């Protein structure tokens, strides 16, 4: 039901899309809405390991996504404010400036993001406003999941089977046809990326011609990629067979960076999978892509279950983790200068492009933890800094899984990187492409 007497302030966070955006849908119930994106400089500060949280590749992808969102909002008659600073200061100020009594935003679930929400909510309450935190990250809605489980299982298979048999995926929400903003609202320009990155000692990255991810950020590009992979080339029907390859743009869907920034929703991806299956036929590959979305959900729900424990040295396990913080070994690993050419090739690709295949991530993580004996948290921090598709729950969940302090029922998830290289790069094509001698 519309509220024709008030305005909402819509705070875009990791939901940089118009399609299937539950938080935006809530905002648009009001007569007018004021959309804003805040570049929170906290996420460009150094973490405890000395790495800038958001590195150059993800920064570039994010800025592209914000620009695309702004353009799409303007096509619907609206405007997007773009501000830099602390949300807890900017949001209440905007609410007073534009006479908004309600703040609406997508909810987050990791420690830092929850802390930010709590501070924002207090600041909004202090000026007499109210907040709505709307779920929009996951394939399965958290309310439906927590109605099914009293406690999220610590084994993924139990989680998946129960969801698939007993839980439904809610329908997608269509893109709005119009966005009504106050008459005096005009879009802001995004800061210059070079200047912005220079404040944290970083530079705008150049596209490496060898990259398996030569794409730009934004909801338009996300839809274009999905169309290409599903409908134009029908790669979806071969996904499970090709997903462990290492080179090229089409061996996997490459949708994860757009998912991480909320340029496309997991529900929209699944709905397109189902539409594809209805027109052609389901197979193991079409199922497997949805299977991966359920894994993504699982890590999100595990982070909600355990909170800050997922960041502990011992993860969610009670056993002692014997890894160290040997910085010389870590520096060799992160710069692709270890004694393992397969690990080096993957780390070089990450360093040059912000991308690494799933197969590569498993191997380099295992090598850091089990061969070099280094604290998994250092590797997770480096991934946060560089990965285009960094997502706190998935990144941490995968690292503690490999380190043996997460949701792996097996005692030791160690990869034989030499054997893995023979299986997945038998002709050394990948290692030659990303060899240690690259400049």
Q: Which of 102-116, 188-202, 406-420 has the lowest mean pLDDT?
A: 406-420
Mean pLDDT value across residues 239-253: 96
- Side-chain-facing half-sphere of 106: CA atoms under 13 Å: 26
Which residue shows structure tokens 């935003």? 105
Instruction: Give the domains, in start order, of the chain with CATH numbers.
Output: 1-136 (3.40.50.620), 138-168+219-306 (1.25.40.80), 312-433 (1.10.579.10)
What would the DSSP string read from start to end of 105-128? EE---SHHHHHHHHHHHHHHHHTT
Helices (H), 149-187: 156-166
Task: Please determine, for residue 436, whether its predicted confidence score (pLDDT) is greater than 70.
Answer: no
Pairing between strand 30-39 and 81-84?
A: parallel
Of 56, 63, 34, 50, the C-alpha closest to 191 is 63
Distance (Å) of CA 198 to CA 42, 49, 67? 15, 20, 20
Is residue 4 predicted with pLDDT exceeding 50? no
In this prediction, residues 199-211 reach a mean pLDDT of 95
The alpha carbon of 232 is separated from its chain's Cα centroid by a whole number of angstroms, namely 25
Most confident range, picked from 315-324, 379-388, 403-412: 379-388
- For 331, other C-beta atoms within 10 Å of its C-beta total 11
| Cβ proximity of 265 and 21 under 8 Å | yes
Interval 258-283 mean pLDDT? 97
Going by pLDDT thresholds of 50, 70 and 90, the confidence category of residue 324 is confident
**Rounded CA gap, 157 and 249, in Å?**
30
**How many helices and strands, by DSSP H and E, does the chain display?**
19, 5
- What integer pLDDT is reported at residue 408 of this predicted model? 76
pTM confidence score: 0.96
pLDDT level of residue 215 (50, 70, 90 thresholds): very high
Residue 318 confidence class, pLDDT cut points 50, 70, 90:
confident
Confidence band, pLDDT 50/70/90 cuts, at residue 323: confident
141-146: long-range pairs with CB below 8 Å, 24+: 141/170, 142/301, 142/304, 144/168, 144/170, 145/297, 145/301
pLDDT tens, position by position, 133-180: 999 999 999 999 999 999 999 999 999 999 999 999 999 999 999 999
Count CB atoms within 10 A of the CB of residue 438.
15
> What element of type H or E holds 104?
strand 100-106
Closest residue by Cα to residue 362 from 295, 287, 281: 295
Instruction: Give the pLDDT band (50/70/90) at residue 3.
Output: very low
Three-state SS sequence of 84-101? ECCHHHHHHHHHHHCCEE
Coil/strand/helix, residue 163: helix
The DSSP secondary structure of 427-439, one letter per residue, reads T-HHHHHT-TT--
Rounded (5°) CA angle 334-400-166? 135
Q: Beta-carbon neighbour count of residue 167 at 10 Å? A: 16
The vertex-348 CA angle with 344 and 353, nearest 5°, equals 155
C-beta separation of 68 from 217 below 8 A: yes
What's the mean per-residue pLDDT of the chain?
95
Where would I find the H helices in 216-326?
A: 219-226, 239-242, 256-260, 266-279, 284-306
How far apart are alpha carbons 27 and 149 in whole angstroms? Answer: 30
The average pLDDT across 230-235 equals 98
Q: What is the DSSP letter of 43?
A: G
Rounded Cα gap, residues 79 and 34, in angstroms: 8
Confidence of residue 109 (pLDDT cuts 50, 70, 90): very high
On the question of pLDDT at 25 being above 90, the answer is: yes
Mean pLDDT of the 17-41 span? 97
109-123, 136-150, 238-252, 410-424, range with the lowest pLDDT = 410-424
Residue 68 scores a pLDDT above 50 = yes
- Residue 367, pLDDT > 70, answer yes
């Amino acid at each position: 039901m519309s509220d024709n007497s008030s305005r909402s302030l819509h705070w875009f966070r990791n939901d940089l899309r118009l399609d299937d955006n539950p938080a935006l849908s809530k905002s648009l119930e009001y007569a007018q809405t004021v959309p804003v994106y805040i570049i929170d400089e906290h996420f460009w500060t150094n973490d405890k390991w000395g790495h800038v949280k958001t590195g150059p590749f993800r920064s570039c992808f994010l800025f592209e996504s914000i620009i695309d969102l702004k353009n799409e909002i303007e096509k619907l008659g609206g405007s997007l404010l773009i501000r830099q600073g602390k949300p807890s200061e900017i949001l209440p100020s905007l609410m007073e400036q534009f006479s908004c009594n309600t703040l609406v935003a997508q909810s987050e679930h990791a420690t830092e993001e929850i802390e930010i929400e709590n501070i924002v909510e207090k600041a909004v309450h202090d000026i007499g406003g109210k907040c709505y935190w709307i779920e929009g990250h996951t394939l399965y809605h958290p309310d439906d999941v927590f109605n099914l489980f009293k406690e999220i299982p610590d084994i993924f298979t139990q989680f998946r089977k129960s969801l698939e048999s007993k839980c439904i995926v809610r329908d997608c929400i269509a893109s709005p046809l119009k966005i009504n903003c106050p008459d005096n609202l005009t879009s802001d320009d995004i800061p210059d990326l070079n200047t912005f990155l220079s404040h944290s000692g970083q530079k705008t990255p150049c596209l490496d011609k060898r990259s398996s991810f030569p794409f730009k950020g934004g909801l338009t590009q996300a839809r274009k990629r999905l169309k290409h992979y599903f409908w134009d080339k029908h790669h979806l029907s071969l996904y499970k067979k090709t997903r462990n390859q290492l080179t090229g743009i089409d061996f996997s869907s490459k949708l994860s960076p757009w998912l991480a920034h909320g340029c496309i929703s997991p529900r929209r991806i699944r709905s397109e999978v189902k539409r594809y299956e209805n027109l052609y036929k389901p197979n193991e590959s079409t199922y497997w892509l949805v299977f991966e979305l359920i894994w993504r959900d699982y890590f999100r729900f595990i982070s909600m279950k355990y909170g800050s424990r997922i960041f502990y040295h011992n993860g969610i396990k009670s056993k002692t983790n014997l890894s160290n913080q040997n910085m010389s070994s870590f520096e060799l690993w992160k710069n692709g200068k270890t004694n393992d050419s397969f690990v080096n090739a993957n780390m070089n690709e990450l360093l040059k492009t912000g991308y690494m295949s799933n197969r590569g991530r498993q191997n380099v993580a295992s090598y850091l933890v089990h061969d070099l004996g280094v604290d998994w948290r250092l590797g997770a921090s480096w991934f946060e800094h560089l990965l285009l598709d960094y997502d706190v729950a998935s990144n941490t969940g995968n690292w503690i899984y490999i380190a043996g302090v997460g949701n792996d029922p097996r005692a030791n998830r160690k990869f034989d990187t030499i054997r893995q290289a023979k299986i997945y790069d038998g002709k050394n094509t990948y290692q030659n492409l990303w060899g240690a001698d690259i400049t």
